[in-house]
Structure 1
Amino acid sequence: LLPHSGGISLNGKPVTPKQATLALVPQDYGLLPWKRVRQNIELGAKLKGQKLDTRKVQQLCATLELTDVLTRYPSQLSGGQKQRVALARAFALTPDLLLLDEAFSALDTVIKRRAQQLFLAQWQQSPVTTLMVTHDLKEALQLSDQILILTKDQPRLIENPLQEVSFTNRDRPEILAPALTKLEGLVATLW
């Protein structure tokens, strides 16, 4: 790692785990194998000392289609189900900042798109500042407002060219394809 300096702020205040509630959805989902789905969903809020809103958790499970698997262990779930459990755990926490680290990368194309749609549905019900790390430019266009391109020299922040397009229309080929081609060209020139 290279030496660095700077800070992270959210709404003009420094982000610290003691003052802000941070939720992380790691690439490998981060589920505890000895806990059932419901316990994994409730874990973040319990560790943070937040009172769980039972109705909110039920609504999360319904939105993310998890109601039928709440008593199962992670080993009994598909990759898509594990992903949705990790997302439910993050949203049950009521975070100030949601961090997604390649959260959809391990899913096949159909399940990935469905998980993204479920994420968007939940995010639209409970908007939260989200930082998503992805290598998938299509995913960046479909799910973001701004895109930070990390290069070998200087990071570059750009507005998503689809920012004014509703999330439900961003996957339409006539809208997505030209934006994707332009973004791929930009990334190619920066690297």
Structure 2
Amino acid sequence: MFLDASFVAQKGSLFPWTIEKNIALNQNLSSQKIDSALFQVNLEHLDPHHLIRQDNETLSGGEMQRIQLARVIYQKKSWLFLDEAFSALDSKTTKKIERFFLEDPKITLIHICHKPVKENLDLYDEIIHMEQGEVVDVQINA
């Protein structure tokens, strides 16, 4: 199961490689799939050949998060674990990318967040609300 899973953390790191290699990781590079993944996360304006530097990167925190989300799209895993993976994104972009994952019947999504997108809540099968480490409500959508 874990070979078929992806994880995106709030403060994940990127490798000092090109954007396209950060997205493809160990899979064969497909320019068409890279372009499609970048489009899905609103980064089609970036050069896939841009080398990510560790010393003084010019990408914003939101762009770096979206590169990690593009990696998930490119990898096409069945299980997706998101831990505050949209924290640096605006609500419109979050809504679009989250909906992309939620509408794919091949993906099981486990998503931890502090600011849920109200328009997407009905797409979840189950929502667990917690406060101070305690479950306060469980909402099951039919």
Which bracket does the TM-score occupy, shorter chain normalised?
A: 0.7 to 0.9
Instruction: Tell me whether 1:83 sits opposite 2:60 in the alignment.
Output: no
Name the structure 1 match of 2:11.
28
Give me the CA root mean square deviation. 2.9
Change (3 A) 1:23 1:115: same
What's the secondary structure of 1:41's corresponding residue? helix
Question: Partners in 1 of 2:104 and 2:33 — Cα distance?
Answer: 11
TM-score (norm 1): 0.57
- Structure 2: stretches of 5+ with no match in the other structure: none
Q: 1:21 to 1:82 in 2, by over 3 A?
A: same
The match for 1:55 is 32
Moved more, 57-66 or 140-149: 140-149
Residues 117 and 28 of structure 1, relative CA distance in 2, 3 Å threshold: same
Report the equivalent of 1:159.
140
Is the 1:63–1:122 contact (alpha carbons within 8 Å) kept by the matching residues of 2?
no
The alpha carbon displacement at 1:115 in A equals 3.2
* Closer, same or farther: CA 153–81 of 1 in aligned 2, 3 Å: closer
Q: CA deviation at 1:125?
A: 5.7
Number of paired residues?
134
Identity across matched positions, percent: 25
Q: Which has the higher strand share?
A: 2
Flag the structure with more relative contact order, 1 or 2, with Cα contacts below 8 A and sequence separation at least 6: 2
Q: Which of 13, 38, 41 is the aligned partner of 1:64? A: 41
Tell me the TM-score normalized by structure 2. 0.73
> Are positions 1:39 and 2:21 aligned together?
yes
Alignment partners' CA distance in 2, 1:150 and 1:125: 26
